[in-house]
Chains A and B, each alone.
Chain A
Amino acid sequence: MSDIAISIKGLYQIFGKRPKKMLSYVKDGISKADLLEKHRHVLGLKDININIPAHKISVIMGLSGSGKSTLIRHINRLIEPTSGKIDVYGEDVLSMSKGELREFRRHKVSMVFQNFGLHVHKTVAENVAYGLVVQGIPLNKAKKNSRKWLERVGLEEFENCYTSRLSGGMQQRVGLARALATDADILLMDEAFSALDPLIRTDMQDILLKLQQELQKTIVFITHDLDEALYIGDSIAILRDGEVIQQGDPQEIILKPNDDYIVDFIQDINRGRVIRIRSIMIKGETVDGPNFNHNSVLEDVLPSIVKSENHKANVTNDSGDIIGSIDLKTVASAIARPAVEKSAETSYR
């Protein structure tokens, strides 16, 4: 078990004139719709309990209005919660004074925004250096120190351009470089790639994964796109109407969805390309057949299993030792979608 970087406990967010008063109604179980209709308050987040592991990518996923962007803004306290507790590396974020909070934001946590949040009156290099300038480093030195990040995202030749001259993907690379330049361990990414077109989005996901391999930051990534969540997430929490309805390993969410909403959500994904054989193998068994790395996806192993005589294969860990086995039946049943009794009302899309 890796260390917990961010721990969120019993977090509530109620929007309206008297949120504190509404809190007791919410704790007594009033529904979001009733709260809005009877009391004119909006339930933003309800009893959120999440532990975010250090040095991993944790994805928080939900459709629009599910409260995911609100949730991520609590971690650096851009939004004050109605009630709850947020610890970052054991430090209580909510009890910080204004000055402490500024220092916390300057050094411990940085952020990437959906609409980039770049400063259009500054050049690319000045934007990337912004976090360092805010820390009190003189502009020229800050530019020099942050230049390597500009190079890492491949924009060094645009350093003196204004950001409005760049395409969306390039602007977000500036946003990413700006966030990395402060050397903060925690990176909050609020739908960072959602505004980009699909090809560029895949590019950016690859850039992020490549950087992460080397930097090992603690990343909280917000998205509404399940494919994106599955592609980059080490763990996923699914949010609906301000509540976490399932969290855990992406494999587990696909194989054991605990809610119709999630079943509905995962309907359209290509299971063969997402499910890894380690999640369905029978542990400890060795069979007569080809060997596959435990992180292989079903699609990669299926042809050889079909071709092999006994329709079986071994699963190996990264060092090549056999740790289990799979057969055609387990693979086939993993690919089959879970049955849903779906009527028009229960469809969430």
Chain B
Amino acid sequence: MDFFAKFPSMSRGELRDFKKSVDGSFSEFTGEYGEAIEAFFDPLLWFLVWFEQLLLATPWPIILLIVGALAWAGSRSIKIATGAILAFIAIGYFGMWKDTMSTLAIVSVATLICISIGIPLGILMARSKYAQALVTPLLDIMQTIPAFVYLIPVVMLLGIGKVPGLIAVCIYALPPIVRLTNLGIRLVSKEALEAADAFGASYRQRLFGVQIPLALPNIFAGINQTIMMALSMVVIASMIGVAGLGVPVLRSISNQYLALGLLNGLAIVALAIIFDRVTQEYGKRLQKHRHGDHL
């Protein structure tokens, strides 16, 4: 009866040895390849630092102007552009300008990385059901595994710093763009594709002339989601040494600074709303052809 009362598990010693061997072999791997991998990511680090310095070195009125111009270019809405400028003025007034620039830098770079990996991956998934069967569970893991769990090997491998932070953000923010690119391409109407085939379109002509343009609204929704998720990772990324709005939030958790935490948290929210509204409006403009009234 003892058998049913307690689940037959590995003995304590066996389990310890198992964990030890996993830890040991990963440590070995780190020792062997850690530096090479770090060197591999050096250009990324260089780019991130350069971009952050650029944002910090640019006089604030110019940044405000650029923010307003970009918001207007994306949304074509005076309301959203004005709102964006006012939000940045408030952020600056409450002393969070520097941290906001750092956050902007890492979110922008992470988004660029996610787009450049995610869109091709999504296209591959749409093309082959095997790729889809392989990648889908990976995306599930990336989205659901607690961020702290993959922070451990990343930190073991690359130490504390900007690059591991960036990688952590990318792991978390990549899935939506991959999924929505795949979905968008798969949703393209069979008729539109058959017409392309019937006129003798090559694979490239089909992809770039029909599939991607028709999937663009979905791809854009994916980019929007990726940006949102990258922003929400800012606080966790700051635990492993990424500068930005997450750092004061962490500090206020450990010291119970209500006002500091609230202000920085709201700054993240403000950035999120600006990014979201601008990209959504842009996405809507991309599908203006769908809202044609019949003559």
Contact = CB atoms under 8 A, between A and B. Distances in A.
A131 B292 contact: no
Interface string A162-180: 1111110010000000100
Interface string A63-88: 00000000000001010000000000
Interface residues of B, number: 25
Interface in A301-320: none
A119 B210 contact: yes
A188 B199 CA distance: 11
B198 A121 contact: no
A113 B200 contact: no
Contacts of A113: 191, 194-195, 198
A12 B38 CA distance: 61
A164 B290 contact: yes
Contacts of B198: 76, 78, 105, 110-111, 113, 117, 188
Interface in A100-127: 101-107, 110-111, 113, 115-121
- Residue from A101, A107, A111 having most chain B Cβ neighbours under 10 A: A111
A164 B293 CA distance: 7
A51 to B, nearest CB: 22
Contacts of B199: 105-106, 110-111, 130-131, 134, 178, 182
B266 interface: no
Contacts of B202: 102, 134
B255 to A, nearest CB: 54
A106 B191 CA distance: 18
B200 to A, nearest CB: 3
Interface in B274-295: 288-295
A121 B213 contact: yes
Interface residues of A, number: 35
B192 interface: yes
B195 A111 contact: yes
Contacts of A101: 200
Nearest to A133: B209
Contacts of B210: 119
A102 B200 contact: yes
Contacts of A76: 198
Given A102-B202, A162-B289, A167 B294 contact: yes
Contacts of A121: 213-214, 216, 289
Nearest to A110: B199
B201 interface: yes
A106 B213 CA distance: 22
Contacts of A164: 289-292, 294
A33 interface: no
A211 interface: no
A161 B292 contact: yes
Given A78-B197, A164-B289, A120 B294 contact: no
A103 B295 CA distance: 37
B256 interface: no
A165 B201 contact: no
Contact of B294 (A78, A102, A165): A165
Contacts of A170: 295
- Residue from B192, B200, B205 having most chain A Cβ neighbours under 10 A: B200
Interface string B182-225: 00000000011011111111100100011001101000000000
B209 A120 contact: no
A119 B192 contact: yes
A111 B200 CA distance: 11
Interface string B8-46: 000000000000000000000000000000000000000
Given A118-B192, A120-B192, A120-B214, A103 B200 contact: yes
B192 A117 contact: yes
Nearest to B217: A121
Nearest to A164: B292
A163 B195 CA distance: 15
Contacts of A118: 192, 195
A102 B206 CA distance: 12
A134 B289 contact: no
A37 to B, nearest CB: 29
Contact of B205 (A103, A134, A182): A134
Contacts of A182: 199
A117 B200 contact: no
A119 B201 contact: no
A58 to B, nearest CB: 18
A116 B191 contact: yes
Interface in A139-188: 161-167, 170, 178, 182, 188
Contacts of A116: 191
A135 B196 CA distance: 12
Nearest to B213: A121
A103 B202 CA distance: 10
Contacts of A178: 199
A88 to B, nearest CB: 14
B137 to A, nearest CB: 27
B188 to A, nearest CB: 10
The 4 closest A-B pairs by CB, nearest first: A105-B200, A117-B195, A106-B200, A165-B292
Interface of B: 191-192, 194-202, 205, 209-210, 213-214, 216, 288-295
28 contacts: A78-B197, A102-B201, A105-B197, A105-B198, A105-B199, A106-B199, A110-B198, A110-B199, A111-B195, A111-B199, A113-B191, A113-B198, A116-B191, A117-B194, A117-B198, A120-B214, A120-B290, A121-B213, A121-B216, A121-B289, A130-B195, A133-B209, A135-B200, A162-B288, A164-B291, A166-B294, A167-B294, A188-B198
